[in-house]
Structure 1
Amino acid sequence: MIRRNDKVNVLSTVDYNRVRNFIMENARALDVRVFAYLFENGSQKEAAEELAKFQNEDGGFGHGIEPDIRMPDSSPIATTVGLQYARKLKLTGGHRIVRKALEYLNSEYDESITGWHLLGKEVNDHPHAPWWSYDHEKGHCGVHGTWANPNAEITGYLHEYEGYVPNELIEKVTQKAREELGTLPEEMEMHDFLCYKRLMESVQSPFKEEIEEKLKKAVRKITKLNPGDWEGYGMKPLQAADSPASPFFPLLKDEVKENLHYEMEKLREAGYASPNWSWFGKYEEEWVHAEKDWQGHLTVELLKTLKEFGCLDD
């Protein structure tokens, strides 16, 4: 475990307050409430109320909760983001937000692929990142890849809230997740890794250990280990091992420590975290808003990670 006597820097109170002010003045109300819940004994109920504003009547999430997808319509990929927030807020399966989201996923399940499609053609009617554009000839969006994204992650939520999901559905997608895990190369795509990582955090043994074993073989091969690569898009050490308790931390300890220094220096300099991607000149006016949404979200996420590693001043 990294501790302060391992000479990891600590974010000063002055720097922390500067970052806090950025969140309060610039982040979405949802991320402000999540920050308050995580760091200031804020209300879970108030944070959940903000989360519910991104949920549609059908139970799915939209309305830009995934800032690169601005459409109001529900989609499975946006619903995974909504459930990531629900997990952070420790909402139970009986909570209306979670229950509705599970009902949506149950209704969107496609037996022919034993899973869910990322999103539909409606995305083209609204501002979005270029990689989310729907290709009518191929019948899917540009980032469509393996089954893992988003299906492995969704399978994890079905296990986490298993009392609110049909057992038959859980059994089918879990078997599919096992099969797909075996087909993934060790140099898997980063989002496949992250989706299986989220599944691993919810599933029980022995499948949990099967996933962990596969991801451990992959982690050093697909993580950007060189600080010179961290400005570009790719998985950084802190994404793979986001706490000292992570099973991937022992495999990346030196790189995690260096990544902590790197992220804190950038945070001290700017006062917030920023995405290391853009929309490449498309929907430029809307990207200004999406980028700010990302900045608020990523800043809260970074502070959460720094707290896990003991890098915030008491």
Structure 2
Amino acid sequence: MSADLSAAREFILTNARLLDRRRAAVHFDGDAPDTVVQVLRGYRNPDGGLGHALEPDVRSPHSETTSALHGLEVLAEIDALDEQMVADLTSWISGVAHPDGGVPFVLPSAAQYPHAPWMVPSEKGSHLTFGLAGVLAAAAVRSDWLDRATSWCWERLQQPDELSGYWLKFALDFLDNCPDDARARPTIQQLSGLLREDGTVPVPGGTADEKLTPLTLSPRPGRPSRALFTDTQLSDDLDRLESEQQDDGGWTFDFLGWSPAQTLEWRGLVTLQAVTTLHTHDRL
């Protein structure tokens, strides 16, 4: 059964954040990408980072690494990686990264504000390093920190068995954006053993049966990571995505909803993600 785009858009207009309503208008109404950029600027701090619960699981006004990645992903989505905000974020990230280039998952200041139970500071580099290095490579950013972060990513890829759950998802993001295609493609193939038979991976420490599906691990057609998945796995996942639209027109998520605002914000995000994914794959 096909998804109902009209109902999904009604859900977004009724419930989603302004940022995600603007993103939807760019995708489906032809609005200018700058309308998204202007909203994103509202999350900026004087230090050049992004905060103010741009990442719904950290309700802190202070700049956070998860918010930096989310902001960069939004800019990439609307083809705006030439914005000055990218350079400012790169500078901010370099200031909070570890000496080896690894980026912490959460900064200590988050503990003073409401946050998801899994959002705790990390003493070492996190999976965010893969995501940040990947999107900034796509933006052709040059920085000493990014060079160190890229080396950090390649070193972690030498121990593929340690890449579980979201580590694998962001490692694939990094490899999909890697300019060294000759190195990235064989590395992707080496990760195939981490997938279950249906192309999913479990999320350690998550809710019961929480998993990442092929479309989460490799959301964009034509990217190198698609080689890990069969046409049947991808088609089945698209069928699943269509079938999971709720009666209110939106989609929901399988991780913990720990506050009403966080739950509604994530539902707006995953609903927009669902309809854009289905549209990209000619299912809408």
With structure 1 as the length reference, what TM-score do the two structures score?
Answer: 0.80
Match of 1:194 among 169, 187, 192: 169
Q: Aligned ranges for residues 14-29 of structure 1 at < 5 Å?
A: 15-29=4-18
Check whether the contact 1:110–1:116 (CA below 8 A) recurs between aligned residues: yes
In structure 2, the CA distance between the partners of 1:243 and 1:53, relative to structure 1 (3 Å rule), is same
Q: Deviations over 1:215-266 (max 9, x none)?
A: 334334694389xxx9831111221232442444452322322222222122
Q: Deviations over 1:182-207 (max 9, x none)?
A: 0121x731211111122123211233
**1:119 and 2:106 are equivalent in the alignment:** yes
Q: Where in structure 2 are there 5+ consecutive unaligned residues?
A: none
Report the equivalent of 2:277: 305
Report the equivalent of 1:137: none
Match of 1:99 among 72, 87, 96: 87
In structure 2, the CA distance between the partners of 1:267 and 1:88, relative to structure 1 (3 Å rule), is same
Check whether the contact 2:102–2:149 (CA below 8 A) recurs between aligned residues: yes
Structure number with larger C-alpha Rg = 1
Q: Deviations over 1:105-146 (max 9, x none)?
A: 1222321x4322122221121111111144xxxxx3xxx7x7
Report the equivalent of 2:2: 10
Whichever residue aligns with residue 174 of structure 2, its letter is L
Match of 1:79 among 52, 68, 89: 68
Report the equivalent of 1:5: none
With structure 2 as the length reference, what TM-score do the two structures score?
Answer: 0.88
Check whether the contact 2:50–2:63 (CA below 8 A) recurs between aligned residues: yes
Match of 2:245 among 246, 252, 267: 267
Q: Deviations over 1:30-79 (max 9, x none)?
A: 00000111122112111111111112111111111111111111122221
**1:131 and 2:108 are equivalent in the alignment:** no
Whichever residue aligns with residue 110 of structure 1, its letter is H
Check whether the contact 1:67–1:290 (CA below 8 A) recurs between aligned residues: yes
Match of 1:233 among 182, 192, 210: 210
Q: Where in structure 1 are there 5+ consecutive unaligned residues?
A: 1-8, 135-139
In structure 2, the CA distance between the partners of 1:225 and 1:150, relative to structure 1 (3 Å rule), is closer
CA distance in 1, matches of 2:178, 2:237: 29
CA distance in 2, matches of 1:231, 1:259: 19
**1:208 and 2:184 are equivalent in the alignment:** yes
Report the equivalent of 1:159: 137
CA distance in 1, matches of 2:35, 2:78: 10
In structure 2, the CA distance between the partners of 1:179 and 1:204, relative to structure 1 (3 Å rule), is same
Match of 1:42 among 22, 31, 39: 31
CA distance in 2, matches of 1:190, 1:225: 6
Percent identity of the aligned residues?
19
